[in-house]
Chains A and B, each alone.
Chain A
């Protein structure tokens, strides 16, 4: 009897799934996950399962790491026996809120091109006997499904693990239930809010600007949104402490941060909100409602302006641009880029970095992190030194160009690995000499071009102003030499033309690379400025850096010398090393 009922329900669902509307919803959901936009890109196509796993990972990891903070044994060993769980969870709760907002917001930015039906959908669906309203509703349902799925997925692990970790300190099961429910509600709502806030910002541009202007401006808006989301995530290091120290209601600038509203809401629901948090919680529901209404309105307006009129829009409009090479380009071609390979590929690499959405967004995320750390260093230096000139030549002040250079070099090295339009790399396979080993010099020149101009033109005069010629010259020299050495180290065994090689997502040495980055950052941007601030008091001490630089210079060269020729050959396909290789000798 029950079996028959279940079968009936399954058959009913199956039947419904095959109706035109739901088939279209499925089509849009698949498009949002798998592609969209103008290109038939196969650059970095991750499966739905893998995407969802990757999105769920950060929350899970952070929750596990919190065992160390909330473990009762460890608390007892630290001598902390009477801890208020509500007060001590505020910073972590805030972190989870900003994390879910940042991750979901980035998903919205990443999939923006695929959220709206595009020309391909228009050409495929509009000639069919389906009304425009049905297409609109099907796409809307697909977007809502995506938001729900991402919000649940991003927060699923933390909604279970975090309350478990905190609940372990309490004997009452009711505490766990209440805490889990409030935490889940807070993070899921903040996720949904973040998605629709990004949607509203981009959608407003889409609804208000002419299509061509929006197309031009949209990548820059998205880059700014990513930087904002990274900054929002970074506020979790300082904001809970500031809130804790607020005696009255929260200051105005804090009310402008939506993450604070959701923290206020969760503390209110737990019954432990102070005046500052209460004042922030008041903004949650009006803010949430406004964003939802705006998002729906701009979605409808955008759909009407862009999708319905696709057929009226011309496809290939040409913008008159000077095709002539700039003076800098001519100078680079003459003095820096010695071969046709370097001249051609240098331009290609920069155009890809600046024009490919995925690459620009990854670089913006990493650059945003660098900017946050650099501004944090500047703030710390200003707080401890008082004046700008003293702050800049302090340990924290000296670290600023090093932090920025590190993130630019490592960020570029990372994006070089992300392929773009792999099917189009045939032109490089056809024209380039794989035996010439020119990929590494090319990549080095690109990386240094991204660092040296601002180090020499901005950082150098600033440090000369702050500390005089001696400090300015010495510090700039250190930044330049360290950047060259870091570039060398980052490019060990690099033998591909950026963006043209397939890239297996997980490699055996990924963890080692990650640890290497952390260690590299520590040496580059923490130890070096610390040494510099000590050495600049007596500049001759700087000589002590020479042996370190020599060792860092020799290491990569030694590796390169010992590599076999076949290991230096340019590649267009990177396959993970197999445990067993089959030699197909019979063929």
Chain B
């Protein structure tokens, strides 16, 4: 089980995340929602060990992940928010690099890369440089890199950005299948419908603090509304309709 215990992160004394606690059990797909600046990315970075918490800790099976970060990361598949990849490597070379660094067997690595590239419709472009890839193609390379070593824990930060409809559908089904297989999935997104569809539980952040945490069905039932309405009610005090009307007014105003 992966646990965040009273996680707090401050950047030069400004709090990004405050006293955040939650747990992620095998088979659970935990969606993390929140507006920009709510601390989602900071939370993800602390869960992956890329960032050390100012206070609190992340535990895996009762052990602080910082004590043996390398072992923990062997169990981790991560898709970051931005597809930052080395543009002069080809897709195949990048995956080979990741697989080698993860200590995968060479033969196993090659066959897995080829099969996954085929399944993600990237086989044709595998020897083109990443610099020439579209955002969706880069995202697919990141997804392959995250799943190819069969990890226990998955952390996805906006994994659908740039993906076409088919790839996005495949991915959504994949996330559900991973949950059914008993993997732990932490899923950060802005797209409420996706979270509602693929996640079993949801965590809503606002200004670095958890404001709601429960199963998707319970949260909806509790407030008697859809996840979108619940989210808007909890997180934003903005009347979205009136903002849209104001935009049209400004747009059409004569100079």
Interface residues of A (CB under 8 A from B): 38-39, 41, 315-321, 323, 325, 333, 340-341, 343-345, 347-348, 351-352, 355-356, 420-421, 423-424, 426-433, 584, 586-587
Given A318-B128, A321-B127, the answer on whether A420 and B86 have CB atoms closer than 8 Å is yes
Find the residue from B125, B127, B134 having the highest chain A CB count within 10 A: B127
Given A351-B89, A352-B88, the answer on whether A426 and B127 have CB atoms closer than 8 Å is no
Once the chains are docked, how many angstroms separate the CA of A80 from the CA of B26? Answer: 89
Closest to B149 in A: A431
Once the chains are docked, how many angstroms separate the CA of A584 from the CA of B11? Answer: 11
Q: Residues of A contacting B166 with CB < 8 Å? A: none
Contact A430 B48 (CB under 8 A): yes
Given A315-B132, A319-B128, the answer on whether A431 and B73 have CB atoms closer than 8 Å is yes
Q: Which of A39, A325, A433, A587 sits near B10, CB closer than 8 Å?
A: A587
Given A316-B125, A316-B133, A316-B137, the answer on whether A344 and B70 have CB atoms closer than 8 Å is no
Closest to B71 in A: A433
Given A319-B128, A343-B100, the answer on whether A39 and B48 have CB atoms closer than 8 Å is no
Contact B101 A432 (CB under 8 A): yes
Listed from nearest, the 7 A-B pairs whose CB atoms lie closest are A344-B100, A355-B88, A316-B132, A340-B103, A433-B70, A344-B101, A38-B131
Residue B193, interface by CB 8 Å: no
Q: Residues of A contacting B86 with CB < 8 Å? A: 348, 352, 420-421, 424
Residues of B74-103 contacting chain A, CB below 8 A: 76, 78, 80, 82, 84-90, 92-93, 96-98, 100-103
Contact B87 A421 (CB under 8 A): yes
Contact A429 B125 (CB under 8 A): no
Once the chains are docked, how many angstroms separate the CA of A41 from the CA of B85? Answer: 11
Interface residues of B (CB under 8 A from A): 10, 13, 48-50, 54, 69-70, 73, 76, 78, 80, 82, 84-90, 92-93, 96-98, 100-103, 106, 110, 124-128, 131-134, 137, 145
Closest to A359 in B: B88
Q: Could you list some 8 contacts between A and B, CB below 8 A? A: A315-B134, A317-B128, A318-B125, A340-B100, A351-B93, A356-B88, A423-B84, A430-B76
Q: Residues of B contacting A433 with CB < 8 Å? A: 69-70
Closest to A39 in B: B87
Find the residue from A41, A320, A424 having the highest chain B CB count within 10 A: A424
Q: Residues of A contacting B10 with CB < 8 Å? A: 587
Closest to B94 in A: A427
Q: Which of A39, A333, A351 sits near B131, CB closer than 8 Å?
A: A39
Contact B103 A323 (CB under 8 A): no
Q: Residues of B contacting A333 with CB < 8 Å? A: 106
Find the residue from B50, B54, B96 having the highest chain A CB count within 10 A: B96
Once the chains are docked, how many angstroms separate the CA of A323 from the CA of B110? Answer: 9
Contact B97 A38 (CB under 8 A): no
Find the residue from A321, A341, A427 having the highest chain B CB count within 10 A: A427
Given A351-B89, A587-B54, the answer on whether A317 and B97 have CB atoms closer than 8 Å is no
Known: A348-B97, A355-B89. 16 other contacts (CB 8 A): A38-B132, A316-B137, A317-B128, A318-B126, A318-B128, A319-B127, A319-B128, A323-B92, A323-B127, A351-B89, A356-B88, A426-B80, A427-B145, A429-B50, A430-B73, A432-B70
